[in-house]
Amino acid sequence: MPTSEPTTLTATEILLELVDAEGRTIGTAEKLSAHLSPGRLHRAFSVFLFDPQGRLLLQQRALGKYHSPGVWSNTCCGHPYPGESPFVAAARRTAEELGAGPVRLQQAGTVSYHHPDEATGLVEREYNHLFVGIAEPEQHPAPEEVADIRFVTPAELAELRAARPFSVWFGTVLDAVLPEVRRLLPEAGW
């Protein structure tokens, strides 16, 4: 779930935090090298924001992204800098990508996965920290990060997933976060 970082750095200059199977930090690696086959387990985060009606805010990744360009995914995702807490990174990137003001995020667990991305030849091997929250009604996505956004109901999400490509990690992180979403938004039908 790579994201763009400050424009002065490239994917080979940004460091990610490598972790063991329990999520303990064991070192660092360049962002791109961590995503080359067979992949190296590293820390990531995924944010799922919902509007007051319980619709999920999706983003279509910008076409200029080096990994998974143009595909739909969860509200925001990325990697903490080494030593940065996943919560701080999730709040930071949500603001950078969506132009959202302060968002109240709540931790919703973790999930690990190893997903090759046939479209790019890269690998997502992540220890992913999950967060949920309520979205502001108006978003101002950064065009270098986000091509489009959409609020969807569960039925609309199913239709969109049948018609459009989604990130290789989306199904895994969605399944992992749904128990917390159902607890927070029981009337939304997730």
Rounded to the nearest angstrom, the gap between the alpha carbon of residue 149 and the centroid of all alpha carbons in its chain is: 14
Cα–Cα distance, 121 to 112 (Å, whole number): 20
**How many angstroms separate the CA atoms of 110 and 94, rounded?**
18
* Annotation marks residue 145 as catalytic: no
Catalytic residue among 77, 96, 124, 180: 77
Q: Is 76 a catalytic residue?
A: no
What 3-state DSSP class applies to 30? strand
Task: Give the β-pairing of 25-30 and 15-19.
Answer: antiparallel
**3 contacts 145 by C-beta, under 8 angstroms:** yes
Looking at 42-144, which runs of residues are DSSP E strands? Answer: 42-50, 56-61, 72-73, 76-78, 105-117, 122-134
For residue 151, what is the enclosing H or E element? strand 146-152
Distance CA 85, CA 88 (A): 5
Of the residues 17, 96, 97, 126, only one is catalytic, namely 126
* Residues with a known catalytic role: 77, 126
